[in-house]
Structure 1
Amino acid sequence: NSLTCVWLHVCFFSPLLYVSGQFAIVKQCREKSTGLEFAAKFIKKRQSMASSRGVRREEIEREVDILQQIQHPNIVTLHDVYENRTDVVLILELVSGGELFDFLAQKESLSEEEATQFIKQILEGVNYLHARKIAHFDLKPENIMLLDKNVPLPRIKLIDFGLAHKIEAGVEFKNIFGTPEFVAPEIVNYEPLGLEADMWSIGVITYILLSGASPFLGETKQDTLRNISAINYEFDEEFFCHTSEPAKKFISQLLEKDKKKRLTIQDALNHPWIKVKLYFEPKKRERRQLKTKRLREYTIKSHSSMPPNNTYVNFERFAQVVEDIDQMESSFVSLAAAHDSLQEDIDAMVSIYNEKEAWYKEESEGVRHELSQIRYEFRKVEAFKRSLQDDMQVFSSSLGAVSSRYQERQNHFDALRTELSNELKWVQEVMVLIGNDQQVTGSWPDIYTFKSVFKEATLVSRVI
C-alpha cells in the first residue's frame, strides 16, 4: 500500500478511458517527474474463493511473470506493477496507434505486400514468445495494436497476456478460453494445448485481413465452434478472386486441424508468401477499395456487436464446467460398477434380514410365552411371600410367648436348684455326722437305705 500511495503521487491519470474489459480497465497516465506517458491496466482482484467477480491472484501473477520475461519490439513492455486493496495495476508501454484492423480499414486500398509486412511483424513477436515456450492463446485483431499510426510503416505491438501460459515439457495443459472466432480446434475439443494454437489464430487473422470476412464465424457462438471443429471454411471467390495462391496456401497450412501438420512459427516465417515480396500488376482501384470496405465493415460489426458473439463472458467458469463434466463421466462409470456391486450386497443383506426377521418373530413368540410364565410364577412367589410374612409375624408373636414361658421356667428351675442344693448340703452334713457316729457305735440300722436316698438326691441335683 505504501508503494501504491507513492505511485499515485507521481502519476497523473487522464480522465479518458483507454480500454475497458470484463475485469480490467486501461487508462492513460503520465509520470509527473519525467512527463513520460504510460498505460495503467487496472485488474480487479477476486475478493474471495466463492466469488466469480474479478481475476484470481494466481492468474494475475502469471500474467505479470510472463510480461517480466518479455522484451521485444513487437510486444508491449511492462514498466512496473503496483497493488491496492481491490486492484493490481500494471504500468505498461503506451500503445496509442489503435488496432491494426481499424488502421487498415481507414486506408483507401490494401495490397498483399502491405499485408505481409504486418503479418511478418506479428510472426516475429510470436516467434519471440514461442522461442521461450510461451503461448499467447488470445491472438485476435483487438490484441494487435500499433505503437504509432502516424508513420509510414507502423510497428505492431501484441498486447493482453491475461491468457498466456508457459508450455512445459511433459505437463499436459487443457483449457477452454479465448475468443471463439479465433480459437483452435484443440481448444474447442478440450484437448491438450500447445504453441500450435497461436498459429491457428494467425491463420484466421490473415484470412480476415485479406478478405474482410471471418472464416468460421456463425450466427451464434455454437455455430462458430461447430464450424471450427469441422474445419468448415472455404476461399469464397467473391472475397479471394484477387488473392494470390501463395497467400491462400499460407492460410490453409495454418488452418490445419492436425497440430503436427500445422505450420510452426519458423515454417511461417520461412513461407514464400512472407519471405518473397510480391508485386502485382495494377488492379482496378474499385476492386481494392471493395476489399478495404469489407474490412471496414468487419471491424465496425465486431466493435458494435453487443453482447459480442465472439467473446466468452466467463470462459473460466465454462472451462471448469467442462472439466467437471469430464470428471463426472469417469465417475459415473465407476459409480455404475459400484452400483452393481452394491446391489448384490443389498440383495444379500435383504435375504439375511428376512431370515433374521423370521428368526426374531419365532424367538419373540417364545420369549413372550416365557415372559408370561415368569410373570405367573412371579405373582405366585409374591403371594407366597406375603403369606410367609404373615406366618413369620404369627411365629414371631408365638416365639415371644414361648420365650416368656421359658424365662418363667428358667427362674423356677433356678429356684428349685437353689433349694435342692441347700437340701443336699444339709444331707451331706448329715452324712458326715452319720459317718462319725458309725465309727463310734459300729453300725447304723438303715445306713444303706439312707445312702441310696442320698445318691438319688445327688443325681437329681446334677440333673437340675
Structure 2
Amino acid sequence: VLKLCFLKNCDLYELINELFSAPCGQFAIVKQCREKSTGLEFAAKFIKKRQSMASSRGVRREEIEREVDILQQIQHPNIVTLHDVYENRTDVVLILELVSGGELFDFLAQKESLSEEEATQFIKQILEGVNYLHARKIAHFDLKPENIMLLDKNVPLPRIKLIDFGLAHKIEAGVEFKNIFGTPEFVAPEIVNYEPLGLEADMWSIGVITYILLSGASPFLGETKQDTLRNISAINYEFDEEFFCHTSEPAKKFISQLLEKDKKKRLTIQDALNHPWIKSNEHKEESKAQEPKKRERRQLKTKRLREYTIKSHSSMPPNNTYVNFERFAQVVEDIDQMESSFVSLAAAHDSLQEDIDAMVSIYNEKEAWYKEESEGVRHELSQIRYEFRKVEAFKRSLQDDMQVFSSSLGAVSSRYQERQNHFDALRTELSNELKWVQEVMGYIGVTCDITTYKDLLTGYETVSRPSVRRSI
C-alpha cells in the first residue's frame, strides 16, 4: 500500500534540485533530496501518474505498484535500495539509495586504458546483481549502460549498482509473458520478435554491454531503430579485428555465448559466473615481470568507449531510449488482437460458408424435387385438361343429343296428342254409335239372345257402318 504524502509540503524530506537532477525514462525524473530527521541524502524518483484510462501521458498505476513491489523484495550490494514511497496528486515518489558515482561507462571512458581483468571485475558485479534477481525469478528487462551506476567512483574498485526497475517483471512458471519494451540497442531477439520472454533476455543484454565495454563499438546499432532491430533479429554482428585485436578468445566466446538467438543455448546467469573468462581473471593482477610490449597488448584502449559514451549521451533519446515503446507495445497488442479477431472472423466465415454450402445443397435438392414434382403435376394437369376437353366434348354431344331427343320427344308428344285426339274422337263416335244401337234396340222391342247380339255386333264390326245402318 502506497503511503500518501505531498512531498513538497512534507516535513520529512527537502529537495536539493540544484545538486542533482536527471531524467529517468519517459515519465520519470530523479532529484536529490535530504531526510530532515537524519540528514541522509537520497534519490527521489518522481513517476508521473496516468490521470485517466484514455490518456497516453504518464505511467499506469499497476506498473508503478509492480516496480515498488519488486524493489521492496530486493536487498543486495549491487542493486539500488528502496528507502520509502510517497504519493502526491500527480506523482508517485520513490525514495531510493543515492547512487552518486555516475555511469560505469562514463567512469571507464575517463581512463586511458582498461585491462580485461578490470573489465571482468565490473562484469562480475553486474552478474552477481543479476544472479540475485534471477534467483528470485525477477527479470530486469532494461539492462544498459545508463542503468549500471557506481555507488562511489572515488574508491579503488567502485561498487556497481543496478538501477531503474520500471520494466522489471516477476517471471511466473506456466504464465506466458510477451511485450515490446526496453532500449532497442540492448533488447533480445525474443523481444523484437514478440515471443515469450524470460530471464534469458537479461543475459543477452549483458552480452551487448560486454561487447561495448571491450570494444567501444555497439554490435547491432544501426542508422535507425528499424535497422537496429533488424540486425538483432538477424543476429547480424561480428568481432571486427579493428575493435577486437587486443581482446582474448575467451572474452569473445563469452560474448558469443550470450548473443545466442536460441534461448536454450544462451548462457544462464550461473553459466556466466562460472565461465572460464570470468573465473580466470578473478582477482588477477598484472604481473610486473611481463614485458612492456605484452602488457600493452593486453590493455584495451578506451578512446572508442569514450566516443561511444559521448555519442550515446548526445543522441538520447533517438538512439538510446524507446520513446514510444508504450505506444508501440499497444500497437503490437492491438495488432495481435486484430489478428485474433481476423482468425475468429475467418473461422466464422468458414463456418458460415459451410452453412451456405449446406443451404445451397438443400436448395438444389429441393429445387430438383420441386422440378420433378412440378413435372408430375404438369403431366397430371395436362391429363386433366385432356379429360376435361373430352368431358366438354361429351357434354356438347349430350346436349346435342338432348336437343335432338327433345325435338323427337316434341314430335312424339305431338303425334301422341294427335293420336289421343283421334282416340277421343273414335271413343266419342263409338259411344254415339252404341247409344244409337241402344235406341234402335229399344225401338224394335225385340229381345235378342246373347249369341244373336254378338253376331250382330260381329257383323257390325266386320261391315262398314254405313252399310250396317242401311241393312239394319
The TM-score, its normalising length taken from structure 1, stands at 0.69
Q: Is contact 2:246–2:299 with CA below 8 Å preserved after alignment?
A: no
Q: CA deviation at 1:194?
A: 0.5
Greater CA drift, 424-433 or 264-273: 424-433
Q: Is contact 2:119–2:214 with CA below 8 Å preserved after alignment?
A: yes
CA deviation map 1:235-257 (0-9, x unaligned): 00000001000000000100001
Q: How many residues align?
A: 437
CA distance in 2, matches of 1:432, 1:166: 163
2:224 matches 1:214: no
Q: Is contact 2:5–2:87 with CA below 8 Å preserved after alignment?
A: no
Q: 2:4 is matched with which residue?
A: 10
CA deviation map 1:88-123 (0-9, x unaligned): 000000000000000000111111011000000000
Q: Is contact 1:174–1:193 with CA below 8 Å preserved after alignment?
A: yes
CA deviation map 1:183-210 (0-9, x unaligned): 0011111111110000000000000000
CA distance in 2, matches of 1:117, 1:455: 179
Query: SS at 1:11's partner residue?
Result: coil
Q: CA deviation at 1:310?
A: 3.1
CA distance in 1, matches of 2:45, 2:134: 25
CA distance in 1, matches of 2:236, 2:74: 36
2:377 matches 1:367: yes
Q: Is contact 1:420–1:461 with CA below 8 Å preserved after alignment?
A: no
Q: Is contact 2:109–2:309 with CA below 8 Å preserved after alignment?
A: yes
Q: Is contact 1:11–1:30 with CA below 8 Å preserved after alignment?
A: no
Q: Is contact 2:137–2:171 with CA below 8 Å preserved after alignment?
A: yes
Q: 2:308 is matched with which residue?
A: 298
Query: SS at 2:464's partner residue?
Result: helix
Task: From the CA coordinates, give the structure whose radius of gyration is larger.
Answer: 2
Q: CA deviation at 1:292?
A: 0.6
Q: CA deviation at 1:367?
A: 26
Query: SS at 2:242's partner residue?
Result: helix
Greater CA drift, 446-455 or 293-302: 446-455
Q: CA deviation at 1:321?
A: 1.6
Gaps of 5+ in 1: 1-7, 15-20, 276-280
Q: CA deviation at 1:377?
A: 36
Task: Summarize the Cα distance change of 1:422–1:268 in structure 2 as closer, same or farther, 3 Å threshold.
Answer: farther
Q: Is contact 1:11–1:31 with CA below 8 Å preserved after alignment?
A: no
Task: Summarize the Cα distance change of 1:115–1:173 in structure 2 as closer, same or farther, 3 Å threshold.
Answer: same
Q: CA deviation at 1:332?
A: 1.5
Q: CA deviation at 1:376?
A: 36
Task: Summarize the Cα distance change of 1:249–1:383 in structure 2 as closer, same or farther, 3 Å threshold.
Answer: same
Gaps of 5+ in 2: 7-19, 280-290, 466-471
CA distance in 2, matches of 1:56, 1:415: 137
CA distance in 2, matches of 1:43, 1:456: 164
Task: Summarize the Cα distance change of 1:237–1:404 in structure 2 as closer, same or farther, 3 Å threshold.
Answer: same
Task: Summarize the Cα distance change of 1:342–1:422 in structure 2 as closer, same or farther, 3 Å threshold.
Answer: farther
The TM-score, its normalising length taken from structure 2, stands at 0.67
Task: Summarize the Cα distance change of 1:205–1:9 in structure 2 as closer, same or farther, 3 Å threshold.
Answer: closer
Q: Is contact 1:109–1:288 with CA below 8 Å preserved after alignment?
A: no
Q: CA deviation at 1:215?
A: 0.2
CA distance in 2, matches of 1:459, 1:89: 164
Task: Summarize the Cα distance change of 1:230–1:389 in structure 2 as closer, same or farther, 3 Å threshold.
Answer: same
CA distance in 1, matches of 2:46, 2:441: 148
Q: CA deviation at 1:330?
A: 3.1
Task: Summarize the Cα distance change of 1:241–1:450 in structure 2 as closer, same or farther, 3 Å threshold.
Answer: farther
Identity of aligned residues (%): 97
Greater CA drift, 392-401 or 139-148: 392-401
Q: Is contact 2:4–2:88 with CA below 8 Å preserved after alignment?
A: no
Over 2 Å off, 4+ runs: 8-14, 281-291, 336-435, 446-462
Task: Summarize the Cα distance change of 1:257–1:354 in structure 2 as closer, same or farther, 3 Å threshold.
Answer: closer
Greater CA drift, 344-353 or 390-399: 390-399
CA deviation map 1:197-228 (0-9, x unaligned): 00000000000000000000011101101111
Q: CA deviation at 1:392?
A: 49
Q: Is contact 1:10–1:32 with CA below 8 Å preserved after alignment?
A: no
Q: Is contact 2:5–2:88 with CA below 8 Å preserved after alignment?
A: no
CA distance in 2, matches of 1:393, 1:36: 139
CA distance in 2, matches of 1:454, 1:36: 181
CA deviation map 1:268-309 (0-9, x unaligned): 00111111xxxxx54489878883110000001100015422
Q: 1:384 is matched with which residue?
A: 394
Task: Summarize the Cα distance change of 1:227–1:388 in structure 2 as closer, same or farther, 3 Å threshold.
Answer: same
Task: Summarize the Cα distance change of 1:255–1:347 in structure 2 as closer, same or farther, 3 Å threshold.
Answer: closer
Q: CA deviation at 1:428?
A: 66
CA deviation map 1:306-331 (0-9, x unaligned): 54223211212211221221232232
* Residue 275 (structure 2) aligned to one of 268, 271, 279: 271
Query: SS at 1:386's partner residue?
Result: helix
What root-mean-square deviation, in Å, do the aligned CA atoms of Structure 1 and Structure 2 show? 10.0
Q: Please give the residue correspondences for 1:326-365 in structure 2 after superposition, counting only pairs within 5 Å.
A: 326-342=336-352
Query: SS at 1:10's partner residue?
Result: coil
Q: Is contact 1:302–1:308 with CA below 8 Å preserved after alignment?
A: no
Q: Is contact 1:100–1:146 with CA below 8 Å preserved after alignment?
A: yes
Task: Summarize the Cα distance change of 1:321–1:420 in structure 2 as closer, same or farther, 3 Å threshold.
Answer: farther
Q: CA deviation at 1:31?
A: 1.2
Query: SS at 1:394's partner residue?
Result: helix
Task: Summarize the Cα distance change of 1:405–1:23 in structure 2 as closer, same or farther, 3 Å threshold.
Answer: farther
Q: Is contact 1:427–1:454 with CA below 8 Å preserved after alignment?
A: no
Greater CA drift, 320-329 or 200-209: 320-329
